[in-house]
Structure 1
Amino acid sequence: MSGLLKDGYAVEHGLAPSTGGRRAVTYRLNKKVKSYIVAVAMDQFITRVVIYNLANEAAYPETAFPLPLQDNPEAFQQLCLAIERYITSANIKRENIVGIGIAMPGFIDVEKGVNASFLIDDDQMGLRDRLIQRLGLPIYIENDSSAIAIAELHFGAAKGLRDVMVVNMGWGIGLGMIVNGSLFRGHNGYAGEFSHIPLSHSNKLCSCGKRGCMEVDASLLVAVENAKRAIAEGTTSSLQQLFAVPTKPEGDHLIDAARKGDQLAITALSDAAFMMGKGIATLIHIMNPERIVLSGRGAATGKLLLPPVQRAINEFCIPKLVEHTSVVVSVLGYEAELLGAASLIIENSKPHQLMKIYSQGKSHIVPS
């Protein structure tokens, strides 16, 4: 802590309430320090960027732009150009940027900085090193679901807990695992491929090339396709007009319609959530977690997800295990991935005390 105080990153913030004995000194991050983090959150279609100060406050407004990753040989160049333009528009000096944290889908080897699924190049240089070479700043990359789990651990519904499964409901279904209070990545960093558990009763082909994966019945993409099919068969819904307006991704239109009470949207999401709950029941049997957190893009539906997920858990899970596992919807919502991306920089570039203060969210107060 003395090093952080000396460098100006932390300042004393009075004394903690007395619990008997000497009162602990508390600290907060020094908001006057001109240090910033660029956080990048990517999915298969949309990329979002924001610059945070060390107090988790947006120092420049978030922006989003379309960036398809599948079958897009220009994706790397498009990503770099977008980040460069955003930093330039923010008018923040590069020497004041601590680094860039990027959360993205795919198989991420965190140690080597390689994404084995997207933005693959023919040369031997990993994605992280290519980005560092191009952008000239420290960069760390992480799987999107793992980044969301990091955010939930530091700022959200997993804070203070040791064994938590964080389900990322998005275009696919991802999983971040908190085991013994830390992110669990598995043997080579690929743990959490939750969506490819073979639970589907259909014979649909999954994006992974296999059949029967849970993802073919339990994702926003599938929910959208099911809603479109129902509309084509004559079901009346506000989605018919919303899907015709390309102002936002169709999955977001589906979520918005469900929150406004559209019956077809609610049914499509509920069907997907039930299948997701069936998979969560499997997780509970294997991991015996203290909590399941429903996070990611789908968390914007709020408590609409909970009844079908809980119904599936009750149906497929041993009651004794259900009694000791709570299921909650994230309060971080769509910001979780960005906060997780920002956390990568703090975790890797400064002493653990800074991470401890940083993870206090808006209070910035920790005991000495």
Structure 2
Amino acid sequence: MNAIEEKSQWLKNDIIKQLYYKHPLSLTELSKLSNKSLPLITKIVQQLVAEGYVIEQGLGPSTGGRRASRFLLNADKQKFIVSVAMDQFITRMMICDLRNTSRSEIASMELPLMNNPEATTQLATFIQSNLAASGIPKTQLLGVGIGIPGFVNAELGISHSYLPTNDGSPLAAYLSAELQLPVFIDNDSSLIALAEFRYGAAVGKRNVMVANIGWGTGLGMIVNGQLYRGSSGYAGEFSHIPLSKSDDLCSCGKRGCLEVETSLSVMTERAKAAIASGAATSMRQLAADKSRNIEQVFLEAAKAHDPLAVSILSEAAFMIGKGLSTLIHIMNPECIVLSGRAAVAGKVLLPPIQQALNEFCIPRIASQTTIVQSELAENAELLAAASLVMEQAEFK
């Protein structure tokens, strides 16, 4: 491929990405977003229409002159993305098309990551079996995007915390060889922040923090309209800020980490201990259904305002708010989005977090930051894992 062909291919990729995140768009809008001339954009879009990647939707609204044609990606183009979202216990997978519409039911399996040397093999088998069930040829798959908790070097495709490989190779490279597909990995909290920035509460904002409240307590940061990773890719380890007065040992091996008081695993352990000691709670009846795990029971009880669940969640939320207060003074964000598994109980989370901000933040600074609940819920990581592939794929 010569220099002219490379430039044309790069621009094709860029236009497809613009339409993936924002659609439909006119040629003028694509010209502005790509910072390329209108004649050049017109030529490339015509090529993409001929190749079946792009279709014309119709005419946009009138602005006083001639109505402009608008374009969007072709959902019938036989190109698909595999998206995988992992937490410490549950792994989910979906296959979506170029419009980011799911073409399969979300598959789910229990896959514990901690102290599990077989986790990588189990993950590969899970993906392979679901791909086989889908009947989609691998030639139609653009790649696999995976969100993983813990320390992840997205650039090198390395997961330092979980999913060891048999030969010591980077996880992304290992899975790519096993699946015979391009594989891209990233930290789950970073991906959730990207999802909020692309599709959720952070759209149109430039400085946002997204708290991922789940089995751990993660953080993704959008700074000046870009995901902030830090100098070596590990920025956002919110859960390891030493704010806890507890002497409990954190999963990182240190004491005093915020996580030992705020993670969903800690909350559910407190709930189980209270139930065992005879506390009056609706969770006792809910837990009798053995088909449901304690996390589901706890969050459902909190949403239903069960006093014990609300009390436990409120204590954790206050500590999260204390940690966010520290970050507000440092980052001065426009918005903080509460996301992750526990965010479904947002109406319970918000008051104690706001109480902590009122107590620990300088009012003039705190008043510049809004706290909102994610509307993407558990789909945030799956959406962003798909975009990992879109950012790297070449459309030929």
- Common fold by TM > 0.5: yes
C-alpha deviation, 1:211, in angstroms? 0.7
Q: Distance in 1 between matches of 2:54 and 2:346?
A: 36
Structure 2 counterpart SS, 1:333: coil
Structure 1 counterpart SS, 2:142: strand
Letter of the structure 1 residue corresponding to residue 161 of structure 2? S
Q: Distance in 2 between matches of 1:7 and 1:151?
A: 29
Alignment of 1:45-194 (within 5 A): 45-121=89-165, 123-194=167-238
Which region of structure 1 is more displaced relative to structure 2, 236-245 or 282-291? 236-245
Letter of the structure 2 residue corresponding to residue 107 of structure 1? F
C-alpha deviation, 1:14, in angstroms? 2.5
Alignment of 1:1-368 (within 5 A): 1=15, 2=45, 3-19=47-63, 23-121=67-165, 123-350=167-394
**Aligned-pair RMSD on alpha carbons?**
1.6
CA contact (8 A) 1:299 1:334 kept: no
Letter of the structure 1 residue corresponding to residue 329 of structure 2? H
CA contact (8 A) 2:120 2:165 kept: no
Is the alpha carbon distance of 1:230 and 1:174 closer, same or farther for their aligned partners in structure 2, counting shifts above 3 Å?
same
Q: Distance in 2 between matches of 1:296 and 1:193?
A: 15
Which region of structure 1 is more displaced relative to structure 2, 148-157 or 233-242? 233-242
Q: Distance in 2 between matches of 1:246 and 1:166?
A: 33
CA contact (8 A) 2:299 2:342 kept: yes
Is the alpha carbon distance of 1:167 and 1:126 closer, same or farther for their aligned partners in structure 2, counting shifts above 3 Å?
same
Structure 2 counterpart SS, 1:161: coil
Structure 1 counterpart SS, 2:201: coil
Structure 1 counterpart SS, 2:227: strand
Which region of structure 1 is more displaced relative to structure 2, 301-310 or 59-68? 301-310
**Gap regions ≥5 residues in structure 2:** 1-14, 16-44
Larger Rg: 2
TM-score (norm 2): 0.85
Aligned residues: 351
Structure 1 counterpart SS, 2:210: strand
Q: Distance in 2 between matches of 1:223 and 1:256?
A: 13
Instruction: Provide Cα deviations, 1:291-344, integer angstroms capped at 9, x if missing partner.
Output: 000011112113221111111111111101111100000000011111111110
Letter of the structure 2 residue corresponding to residue 57 of structure 1? T
Q: Distance in 1 between matches of 2:48 and 2:341?
A: 35
Q: Distance in 2 between matches of 1:81 and 1:123?
A: 17
Aligned twin of 1:360: none
Please identify runs of 4+ aligned residues in structure 1 that moved more than 6 A. Answer: none
Q: Distance in 1 between matches of 2:204 and 2:55?
A: 24
Where relative contact order (Cα < 8 A, 6+ residues apart) is larger, the structure is 1
CA contact (8 A) 2:90 2:109 kept: yes
Structure 1 counterpart SS, 2:106: strand
C-alpha deviation, 1:350, in angstroms? 4.3
Q: Distance in 1 between matches of 2:371 and 2:67?
A: 36
Letter of the structure 2 residue corresponding to residue 284 of structure 1? I
**Gap regions ≥5 residues in structure 1:** 352-368
Structure 2 counterpart SS, 1:60: coil
Give percent identity, aligned residues only: 52
Q: Distance in 2 between matches of 1:333 and 1:120?
A: 29
